[in-house]
Structure 1
Amino acid sequence: MDSINQNFLQDISELLVNARKQAKTAVNLSMVYAYYEIGHRICEEEQQGKERAAYGKYLLKELSDYLSKKFGKGFSITNLKQMRQFYLTYRNDQIGQKVSDQFKNLPTVSSGRKFFLSWSHYLKLMRISNIDERHFYEIEAAKNGWSLSEMKRQFDSSLYERLALSKDRDKVARLALEGQTIESPEDAVKDPYVLEFLGLPELPEYSETELETKVIDHLQKFLLELGTGFAFIGRQVRFTFNEEHFRVDLVFYNRLLRCFVLFDLKIGELKHQDIGQMQMYVNYYDRKVKLEDENPTIGIVLCKDKNNAIVEMTLPENNTQIFASKYQTVLPSKEELKKLLEEQDNELE
């Protein structure tokens, strides 16, 4: 008797795994909608009490006892308060229509609001007081399928503030409506990049080779830091020109911009020669590697420190291909970035 085809067995196994994942996601999402409605009913019932504060406390205690006996764990007074807060936070809250349309099959609550994430995600989101920032992380988590830990990491690395600092007012407003949009080379570049997951010291007590190796070792997290649409092509990618050999540290492709993105890693301060070298790499890829229907190559020199005046003087006017960005190996201070945002806003006014 012939043995069963292993590919067939694997295919069946993957079908069941995916089905269970989808079922689990559907159950988790159903509970989010249920918790919203529970919060709604609690608020309505509390408003009918003659002495709201005392009545509310008594109501939650009795409801907690009743639900715990009937359904088991998960309905403590603290949890019921969170459901009430969930309703109060989102009852008059609307998400961007463009994002909502991407999830057409999801139901809506009475206000027309949709929910896309797990209850754990929303417990974290409710603690973000800035509504625009809260919308941004909800949209990005839904669009990119971020786990709770991934969303927390992006929040801790101040992704919203870092993107907002590099955009004008109109584009900052779009962050809260659509999340991060990649429509031009500038949209794909961050400054700074936060690489705390590499586990490297704040001071450059390591070589560029060690930095590159750490990036490859943590490639999945590095891709998450890069943002939407990036695919890894290779490290130390060699090309030969005029009988000389050159190597690009890291090569990626962005499927949204439809272009190659080259990274050169520098552990010290950026020099004008570094920008010139990247210009040569970009020119080679544009002339020898990219296809006719692909867009011009982007080059990013990732450095520990840079002098903006040198960067501006070295790069051509109306530059859209070569960028210099700082990186840091510790999480930035959200307070400092928020202060910078406020100062930038005041300057615009």
Structure 2
Amino acid sequence: MMGTINNTLLHSVSLLIEESRKVLVRNVNTTMVFTYFHVGRMIVEEEQQGSQRAAYAESIISELSTHLTREYGKGFSKRNLEYFRQFYLLYRSKIAQSLIAQSKQSAEPSSIAQSLSAFSEVFRLSWTHYIHLMKIEDSEERKFYEIEAISNNWSVRELQRQFSSSLFERLVLSKNKASIKDLSSVGNVLEKPFDALKTPFVLEFLNLKESESYSESDLETAIINKLEHFMMELGKGFLFEGRQRRITLVGDHFYIDLVFYNRLLKCFVLIDLKIGKLSHQDLGQMQMYVNYYDRKIKLPDEKNTIGIVLCKEENKAVVEFTLPLNNEQIFAKEYKLYLPSKEDLRKQLEV
């Protein structure tokens, strides 16, 4: 019988089921976040009526947890109720007061459904995402990771990884201190080549050890084997074009390690891998690659090519005196094979 089913019908039905499941998951997540936000609101409002607030708050959460757990089972422990309270306090400014008032007026299904629709436009992540976001103490940093998680459709695991790799601090180090406000309000927007850079790039997912000897070929192969992870580390808009792309000049062959295209910047991005300390020859070679792509490969409506020398050890003096002062195409950036210490990166920000 299966052989008689029209492939178009099978594809259409499968697509409908998959999309319906996604909608169901989104609705379940929105309902959970909506419920926990308003439970937190009710706890806070009840606390504000007590005279001895600290002790009163403790007793409210403890007693409420006991009753809710008895009635509804797991999910309403004291710790979770404290999360609900914290969630409301941290995120109440995101919800218009009119919407909060509307949801307080009635518990009728129609009222809740209407509130849920508006609520889903503001809170677009799962409850588990928000639990991890609430653990970030700095409000600017927390806003940045929320924006990036939404715009990049990060899973909870990817959110954890990006936070653990200190993405926020690394982007700020690549730019300037004034960029912190921009990052926390709009996220990392790619408008110019410099926006795609981090200090340093973190490649801990390659599972290469600092103490082990490895070649540039080993590094390249490890990246290709973990290409999806590497592209997540590169950031938004990157498309893989190829590896070991050959350039031939008067019979001499040269090979670019990795070639990407960024659809947001509308340009090619060439990456050369160096396992040692950066040299001026490395920058000169990349300049040649970039010139070739600009003159022979890119289309007239595309932006100038970007070249990144990804090296084990950057040499700022060599970069300064090898590249022109107005350079906006060639960059040298260090990579790390381990997650950097957030404390060390923050110390660099204070310098």
Partner SS, residue 252 of structure 1: strand
2:154 corresponds to 1:131: no
2:305 corresponds to 1:304: no
Following superposition of structure 1 onto structure 2, how do residues 137-286 of structure 1 map, counting pairs within 5 Å? 137-203=145-211, 205-286=213-294
Distance 2:117 2:298 in 1: 40
2:24 is aligned to 23
Deviation of residue 53 (structure 1)?
3.7
1:321 is aligned to 329
Distance 1:278 1:55 in 2: 65
Partner SS, residue 107 of structure 1: helix
2:344 is aligned to 336
Total equivalences in the alignment: 331
1:57 is aligned to 58
2:84 is aligned to 83
Supply the AA of the counterpart residue of 2:327: N
2:124 is aligned to 116
Deviation of residue 77 (structure 1)?
1.6
2:118 is aligned to 107
Distance 1:312 1:61 in 2: 61
Higher alpha-carbon deviation: 50-59 or 200-209:
50-59
Structure 1's 37 and 210: CA in aligned 2 closer, same or farther, altered over 3 A?
same
Distance 2:64 2:186 in 1: 38
Supply the AA of the counterpart residue of 1:311: V
2:72 is aligned to 71
What are the Cα deviations for residues 215-251 of structure 1, in whole angstroms up to 9, with x where unaligned?
0111111111001111111111223222222221101
TM-score scaled by structure 1?
A: 0.89
Structure 1's 245 and 8: CA in aligned 2 closer, same or farther, altered over 3 A?
farther
Is contact 1:106-1:114 (8 Å) kept? no
Deviation of residue 204 (structure 1)?
5.9
Deviation of residue 58 (structure 1)?
3.2
Is contact 1:185-1:320 (8 Å) kept? yes
Distance 1:188 1:182 in 2: 6
Distance 1:264 1:339 in 2: 29
Is contact 2:270-2:306 (8 Å) kept? yes
Distance 2:280 2:344 in 1: 29
What are the Cα deviations for residues 154-195 of structure 1, in whole angstroms up to 9, with x where unaligned?
111111001111223432210010010110011112221000
Is contact 2:30-2:119 (8 Å) kept? no
Deviation of residue 54 (structure 1)?
3.9
Is contact 1:306-1:326 (8 Å) kept? yes
Is contact 1:204-1:267 (8 Å) kept? no
Q: Which runs of 5+ in 2 are unaligned?
A: 97-115
Distance 1:201 1:308 in 2: 25
1:47 is aligned to 48
Distance 1:301 1:204 in 2: 21
Distance 1:211 1:224 in 2: 17
Distance 1:71 1:233 in 2: 53
Partner SS, residue 247 of structure 1: strand
2:103 is aligned to none
Is contact 1:194-1:331 (8 Å) kept? yes
1:13 is aligned to 14
Partner SS, residue 91 of structure 1: helix
Distance 1:324 1:136 in 2: 25
Distance 1:335 1:323 in 2: 25
Structure 1's 106 and 284: CA in aligned 2 closer, same or farther, altered over 3 A?
farther
Is contact 2:266-2:303 (8 Å) kept? yes
Supply the AA of the counterpart residue of 2:50: G
Deviation of residue 68 (structure 1)?
2.6
Q: Which runs of 5+ in 1 are unaligned?
A: 96-104, 344-349
Partner SS, residue 313 of structure 1: helix
Supply the AA of the counterpart residue of 1:41: M
Is contact 2:140-2:180 (8 Å) kept? no
Higher alpha-carbon deviation: 136-145 or 48-57:
48-57
CA RMSD of aligned residues (A): 2.1
